[in-house]
Chain A
Amino acid sequence: MSQVWSPEIIERAAALHLQARQLVWGYRFGLHRSPKITRSVEFAEHKEYSPGDSVRDIDWRVFARTERLLVRRQQADTELSVVLALDASGDMAIGAAELPSLTDSRFGKAITLAATLALLAQRRGEKVGLFIMGGEGQEVNWLRPQSSRNQLAAILNHLAAIRPKNNANLEHRFQDLGHVLPKRSLVFVLSDFMEEPQRWGPSLSGLAAMGADLRLVHLYSQKEFALSFDETAQFLSPEESSPLNLDSTAIRQSFLGVVDEYLDELKSWSAKSRAVYIPCAYEETLERTFIQMLRGV
C-alpha cells in the first residue's frame, strides 16, 4: 500500500483539508466574494453583453466607437493554471519530527498554505498542480494541474505525506519546473530560499520568461534572522554536516548585516523575475500571508 494512502497520512490530509477550509472560509467571510485567483489583464476576445455579465467587464471604448455593448474576456480566464511549488528541504522542518506538525513548524505552515490554495482553486474550478522540491515520502514530485475533485485529494495526500529532507536545489528544480510547466501559469513558490540567490535566481527568471506569474512566499523565522539567542551555542542544521560553535552575542551585529544583504538580494531577484515577494514569518499567523498571496501585492 502506498505511503500516500496510509491511514496516518489520510488523517493528516483530512486535518490539512480542515485547516484549509477554515482559512478559505475566513477569507470569504471577510470579502463576501471570492474572486478568481487567476486574475489576468491579458486580452483574449470580445463577446456580446448578456445579463449576468459584470458591468465592469464592458469595453466602453468599443461602445463609444460602435455603440455596441461588448464584454472583454481575459485569456487567463480560460487557460491559466495554478502551480504550487513547495520546498521540502530539510531546513524547512527545523526542530520538527519526521512529519512536522501542521501548526508548529515552518513546513507545516507551508503545506497548510499550499492546501488552502489548492482547495480554493478547486472550488473555483481552476486547474491546480503540485511541484515538490526536495523531501521524501511522496510518490511523485510533480502533479500536473487539473481541475477535478480527485486532484485536490491527491494534492492533500501528497502534502500530508512529505517528510522534509535533503537539499531543495532550487536552481535545478526551477529548471525542471520550466520543462513541465503549462504556458501561462500562476506559480506559488513556498520556500525558505536558503540557497544562494545568485545560483537559483537565473532559473527563476527563466520561469518568468516563459510567462509564469510568480509569487514567492518566503518562510522564515524572525528569531533566527534576529539571532535572538544568548551566549555560546552549537548551531546545527539537517542540511549541513558540520555544526558551528558560536557566541551569538558576539556575532549578532554582523549577522544582522548579512541577513539584510541576503534579503536585499532575494528581493532583487524577485523583482528581476517580475515576481511578487511575500514574506511569511513563522511566528505570525497565516491569514495575512494568504491574503497577500491571493492579491499578489
Chain B
Amino acid sequence: MSLGWLTPGALFIGALILLPILAHLIQRNPTRKIQFGAMMLLRKLPEVTKRRRKIQDWLLLLLRILAISAIALVVTQPELRWLGIDPNLPTAKTMVIVLDNSLSMNQKISNPLFPAKNTAFLKAKEDAIERIQNSPEGSKYGIVSVGEEAVGWTDELLTDRSEALATLKDIQQTVGETDLLGGIKLARRLLLGEGGDVYVYTDEAGPNTIHVLKDEIQLLSDQKGSLYPQVVRPEEPQNVIVLSAKYGDGLEGGTLRYQLMNYGKEKKEVLCTTRLPDGTEIRNFVQTEPEGVAENFITVPRVADGGIGSIQVEDSTLELDNDFYFHLPRVGASRVLVVDGEPGVTTINSEVYFLERALAPFGAQNETLPDVVGPSGIQTLDSEVHRVVFLANVMEPAPIAAGMIDFVRNGGGLMISLGNNVSAERYNSSFAEIMPAKLRKIESLAQSGEEGKATAIPDLSQELFSPFIRGGALEFSSVRWRKIFSVQDVPADTTVLLSLENGMPLLLEKKVGKGRILLLLGTVDHAWGNLPLQAIFMPVVQRIVTYLGGASSLGGMRKMATIGELVEIDLPEGSTEVVLEGPKGSVGLRYNKGKAIFRPKHAGPYLLRSSGAPPIAQIAVNYSPEESDIRVSDELLAVASEVVPDRYIQKAALAPWLIWVVLVLFFLQALLSFAKRTPTDGENNES
C-alpha cells in the first residue's frame, strides 16, 4: 500500500507549516508582569508546572502544523494505492486455468477444510476446480500446466464444463521447474486474441519465475486478456535441501562433504541419512541457519564400493526434493599385491622393503599393508580382494601376463616397476596388449659417483599429482636417476605422467578396459635412483595406490545433471544397443552425432550401458536447486501492475477525509486557545 498525489506540485504549500512554528517562536509573553523578589524559591518548584504549560503549547503547535499539513495534502489530492484487482470488474466468459504443478508446489500448506489436500498444488487444483464449477453457463475453458514445461492440455477452448473439470483433475504434481512464461504464452494463444481471463495458480517461488513475465503480460493485455494471479503458498515457506556433495579422495581422502541450504526463515535441525552405493547408511543431524548454508561431512568406510549414493534430508515441508544423489569412487584401503621379482639381500636393494614402509609406515593398523608374493605366488591374486598389483622387477612375466591382463580389464590397477631382471623383449611380448609403451633398453644416465638425472616437476593438473598443488611438487626435482629404461615411441593412448628433466619419459599410464596400468621406467629400490630415499616417495606411492584402486567399481563416465536438463553423453565407437536405466526404469534416448541425448524427468541414478560391455556412463540426476528455492522474489500482481497499472492498482481518494480532518483540527485548536486565554491586566508587584 502506498500514497500518491494527483497534483504533487502543490506539496510546496506544506512549507506553510513554518508559519505556526514561527508564531510559536515569537509569541508574546503574558502581558501581566510581576516584579518578584523570591525568584529563587519559584525556581525550586517542581518542573511539572512548567512542563504542563510546555505540553499545552506544543499541543497547540502540533494542531496548527497538522491543520496546515492537512490543507496542503487536500490541495495535492492524495490517493491511497494498493495492489489488487477491482472485485467489481466483470468476469469474462472465457477463462484459461494456468496451474503450476512444479516441484515447489509440493510445499505443505494448512488446509483445515480438506486436510488431505495439504500441498500447495492440491489446494491450487481444488481452487481451480471450484472456479470452473462456479463459472457462468456458456463459459469456455482452457487448461495449461507449467511444471517441467508448459503444457496445453486442450488444443482449443473447451465448451464442456465437465470435460474441462476432468482434464484439470488429470494434472499431476511434477518434480520439474516452473515454466510460467510458457504457460501464459500458451494461455494467450488459446484465447486467440479475443480476450478472456487467465487465472494463474502458483506459489510464485523461485528467483527467476515472475519478473520474466512482463512482456508476456503486456502481450496478453494488448490482446484484451486479463491476468488474475491466484497465489497459493504457506504463510512461512520452509525447505531444506542438499546443494552439493563431494567425496574428498587423494591423500586426505575418506570424507564426503556436503552443503545444506535452508531456504526458510527459521533455524532448523534436520536428520540427514547418507546411503552409500553399497547400501551402507550413515545418519547424523545437521543444524541449519535461516536462509543459510551449512556444511557437514561424514567419514566413508575404509572399503566402499564406488557408484551413486544419496543423501536424504528429513524435511516434511517439501518432501519431493529431499534426496540428493552423488558419485562416490571406489574408496578405501585398496588391497595391494606386490609381486617381488627379486628379493634383495639387503634392504637397500629390496623394493618390497620400501613399498611396505611407504604404504604402511606404522604397520598394518590404519594403512594399506601389501600382500607380498614371489612370481610363482600370483595365483593368490583375488580380484575381490586385491585392487592393485605391483610388479617389482619381475624377471619372467609370461606366466602371469594373462592373469594380469584380465585383472586390469576388469578394473584392477597394475603398477610395473623395472630393474636389472627385466628384459625388454619378454615384457614387450608378454604384455603387448597392456604395456603403455614398448621397452627399448636400459640407459645409463650417470657415471659412477654422479648423482644422476633429475626428475622434472610434473603437471599438477594431472589427477595423479593433484594433491601436490598445495605443496611438495618441487621435491620431485630431488629424485635423481642413474639408470632408467628407454622406450620406443609413446602411443597416442598412453599418457606420460612424469619425465626426467632431459625429457625422457619416466612414468607412463594407459587405460585398458575398466582398469589402468602405470609403468615406472626405473626401480622402486635404490638400485637405479634415489626415489625411495626422497620425501615424496611415500606420498607418491600412496597416491599411486589410491589412483589405481580408486576408480569406480562400475567404471565409465560420471556426470551430474538436474531434472529437465539436456544430458549428452559421448558414445564409444561401435557402441550398439545402448540402454539407459533410470530410477523409474528404462529411459528413452535420442542419438545425434555419436551422442546419446536424454532429458531426465526424475531424480536418481541413471546408468548408460551397452549390452555385453562395461557401463558407458553413470549420471546422478538431482532436483533443480532453483525450484527448491521456495522464497518469493517477486509477486505476480506487482509485476503485472508495472505493466498494466490501471488494472492492478486500486486507488482511494483521501481529500474528502482530509477536509474533515482539517475541520476537526481547527475546532480542537479553537477549544485549546479558549482554554488558554491569557490575562491582560498589567499590575506590578510592589510598584
Residues of chain A having any CB pair with chain B under 8 Å? 91-92, 94-96, 105-106, 192, 194-196, 220-221, 223-225, 229-240, 243-247, 250-251, 254-255, 258-259, 262, 282
Contacts and interface: CB of A to CB of B under 8 A. Distances in A.
| Leading 4 A-B pairs by shortest Cβ distance | A95-B687, A95-B686, A233-B32, A237-B39
Given A223-B685, A224-B36, A233-B30, A258 B49 contact: no
Among A232, A238, A259, max chain B CB count under 10 A is at A232
B33 A254 contact: no
Interface in B638-687: 678-679, 684-687
A236 B34 contact: yes
A195 B40 contact: yes
A92 B45 CA distance: 22
B41 A259 contact: yes
B35 to A, nearest CB: 4
Contacts of A282: 686
B45 A258 contact: yes
Contacts of B53: 245-247
Contacts of A259: 38, 41
Given A96-B687, A237-B35, 7 more contacts: A106-B37, A220-B38, A224-B36, A232-B32, A245-B30, A259-B38, A259-B41
Interface in B15-39: 29-30, 32-39
B54 to A, nearest CB: 10
B685 A244 contact: no
B36 A196 contact: no
A225 B38 contact: yes
Nearest to B43: A244
Interface of B: 29-30, 32-46, 49-50, 52-53, 678-679, 684-687
B212 to A, nearest CB: 67
30 contacts: A91-B37, A91-B39, A94-B35, A94-B687, A95-B685, A95-B686, A106-B686, A194-B38, A196-B40, A221-B686, A223-B685, A224-B685, A229-B34, A231-B32, A232-B32, A234-B30, A234-B34, A235-B39, A236-B33, A236-B35, A236-B36, A237-B36, A244-B42, A244-B43, A245-B30, A246-B50, A250-B49, A250-B52, A258-B45, A262-B44
B42 A233 contact: no
Contacts, number: 110
Contacts of A91: 37, 39
B39 A255 contact: no
* Chain B interface, >50% SS class: loop
Contacts of A105: 686
Contacts of B687: 94-96
A195 B37 CA distance: 11
Contact of B39 (A196, A229, A232, A240): A240
A246 B684 contact: no
B278 to A, nearest CB: 90
Contacts of B34: 229, 233-236
Contacts of A243: 29, 33
B29 A251 contact: no
A251 B39 contact: no
Contacts of A195: 40
A246 B37 contact: no
Contact of A251 (B35, B45, B679): B45
A231 B34 CA distance: 12
Among B36, B39, B685, max chain A CB count under 10 A is at B36
Contacts of A238: 35
A94 B685 CA distance: 8
Contacts of B686: 94-96, 105-106, 221, 282
Nearest to A225: B38
B29 A229 contact: no
Contact of B678 (A95, A223, A232, A262): A232
A282 B44 CA distance: 23
Nearest to A231: B679
Nearest to A239: B39
Contacts of A106: 37, 686
Contacts of A254: 45-46, 49
A71 to B, nearest CB: 49
A156 B685 CA distance: 28
B43 A234 contact: no
A131 B642 CA distance: 89
Nearest to A100: B686
Contacts of A192: 37-38
A255 B45 contact: yes
Nearest to A256: B41
A245 B29 contact: yes
B37 A234 contact: no
Contacts of B38: 192, 194, 220-221, 224-225, 259
Contacts of B44: 258, 262
Contacts of B36: 94, 224, 235-237
Contacts of A196: 40
A24 to B, nearest CB: 27
Nearest to B686: A95
Contacts of A240: 39
Contacts of A233: 30, 32-34, 679
Nearest to A250: B49
A26 to B, nearest CB: 25
A162 B52 CA distance: 41
Contacts of B40: 194-196
Contacts of A239: 39
A221 B686 CA distance: 9
A259 to B, nearest CB: 6
Among B39, B46, B50, max chain A CB count under 10 A is at B39
Contacts of B46: 254
Contacts of A96: 686-687
A192 B44 CA distance: 17
A233 B684 CA distance: 10
A229 B37 CA distance: 14
B685 A229 contact: yes
B36 to A, nearest CB: 4
Given A232-B678, A245-B30, A258 B41 contact: yes
A137 to B, nearest CB: 20
B41 A235 contact: no
Contact of A255 (B29, B42, B678, B684): B42
B678 to A, nearest CB: 6
Contacts of B50: 244, 246
A65 to B, nearest CB: 58
B674 to A, nearest CB: 14
Among A192, A233, A239, max chain B CB count under 10 A is at A233
